Amino acid sequence: MMRRAAWLLLPALVLAFLLLGSGLDFNYVIPKRLVRLGAIVVAGVCIALSSVIFQTLAGNRVLTPAIMGYEGIYLLFQAVLVLWLGTGSVARLGAQGNALLSMALMLGYSWLLQRWLLREGRGDVYRLLLLGLVLTMVLGTFTQFIQLKTSPGEFSILQSLGYTSFNRAQPAQVLYSGLLVAAVAVLVARGTRVLDVLALGRDQAIALGLDHGRCLRLQMALIAVLVAVSTSLVGPTAFMGVFVANIAYALARSARHQVTLPLACAVAIGMFLLAQLLVEHLFNYRTSVSILVNLVCGAYFLALMVRTRGTP
């Protein structure tokens, strides 16, 4: 029932987003909005898939790539890039070049994390969480430090990267990202049953005949690609992944990835659309998507932490 309502809500949100206050201007306003819609869909899918898969691999419902430092590393990397090369060279590198470099970096970080998760096993969740939160703060401090050394123009570009926004995505970038994410999504869709087995934990997965190490490496690589795409497309989203994944679990009433993954995508896209609609029509641009998402998802995460009362 709830699930059906969620699915019906999505088209309604899409239509509202495209048409509300557009004056049905099919030449300018609506094409512009279509690009933004594209960015929202691609980023929403990235955040949903990466968060749910990461939680399956980590064996808990609180850790997400964003919390474990992926976004912090991405932003630090962008700052370093601008500092070394200057905005001119970064522009010459092109969005694609930058995206490829970022992806390589995310893959490297994924590889490190995966080695660590493999070795530590499903250790104390809260310890990992605290590590992730503090690491993100420290990385943020380093980023700020590097920003100090850049010129004012570069500074403002870097600063804008630190916020969730659907306005900076270019049509070409949305297209390329969309194709890439579609390819990843096909891989994920074909592996939902493997993910179900991975959710039982390392030992049970091996006992059921999975090459656990190889599966983990593959999934972590997919996560890296997804995070790189979403962060370069719409910016960091911090706690949104936790919110999206947990709402999806609650709606799904089943832990099977065939059910949870699509639902999570719908929740993420719906959340983005709703935030954008609120910013445009309720707050009249007197707040931003980034702030709304941070506020709602942060509060949700806090409530989740307090409610679990120390039992993961």
> Is residue 148 close enough to count as binding other proteins by CB under 8 A?
yes
User: Least distance to other proteins from the beta carbon of 49, Å?
Assistant: 18
Rounded CA-CA distance 14/20 in Å is 10
User: Least distance to other proteins from the beta carbon of 41, Å?
Assistant: 25
> Is residue 119 close enough to count as binding other proteins by CB under 8 A?
no
Contact 39, 169 (CB under 8 A): yes
| Of 277, 65, 299, 290, residue with least CA distance to 162 | 290
> Is residue 95 close enough to count as binding other proteins by CB under 8 A?
no
Site string for other proteins, 208-227 (x = CB under 8 A): xxxx----------------
Rounded CA-CA distance 93/71 in Å is 21
User: In terms of CB distance, is 53 or 252 closer to other proteins?
Assistant: 252
> Is residue 131 close enough to count as binding other proteins by CB under 8 A?
yes
Rounded CA-CA distance 242/282 in Å is 25
- 3-class SS at 187? helix
Q: Looking at 58, 129, 229, 248, which residue binds other proteins (CB under 8 A)?
A: 129
Compute how many other C-beta atoms are within 10 angstroms of the C-beta atom of residue 269.
23
Pair of tokens at residue 205? 């997965």
Compute how many other C-beta atoms are within 10 angstroms of the C-beta atom of residue 299.
12
Q: Looking at 151, 204, 278, 281, which residue binds other proteins (CB under 8 A)?
A: 204
User: Least distance to other proteins from the beta carbon of 160, Å?
Assistant: 11
Half-sphere exposure of 32 (CA within 13 A, CB side): 9
Window of 11-19, 41-49, 179-187, 291-299 that interacts with other proteins by CB under 8 A: 291-299
Distances (CA, A) of 43 to 51, 71, 84, 285: 12, 14, 28, 21
Rounded CA-CA distance 271/230 in Å is 15
| Of 291, 269, 268, residue with least CA distance to 279 | 291
Rounded CA-CA distance 182/157 in Å is 29
Q: Looking at 28, 31, 104, 256, which residue binds other proteins (CB under 8 A)?
A: 256
Size of the site for other proteins (CB under 8 A): 58
> Is residue 155 close enough to count as binding other proteins by CB under 8 A?
no
User: Least distance to other proteins from the beta carbon of 94, Å?
Assistant: 29
User: In terms of CB distance, is 174 or 240 closer to other proteins?
Assistant: 240
User: Least distance to other proteins from the beta carbon of 124, Å?
Assistant: 7
> Is residue 306 close enough to count as binding other proteins by CB under 8 A?
yes
Rounded CA-CA distance 222/228 in Å is 10
- For other proteins, the binding residues (CB under 8 A) are 124, 126-127, 129-131, 133-135, 137-138, 141-142, 144-145, 148-149, 192-194, 196-197, 199-200, 202-204, 206-211, 238-239, 249, 252-256, 286-288, 291-292, 294-295, 298-299, 301-302, 305-306, 309-312
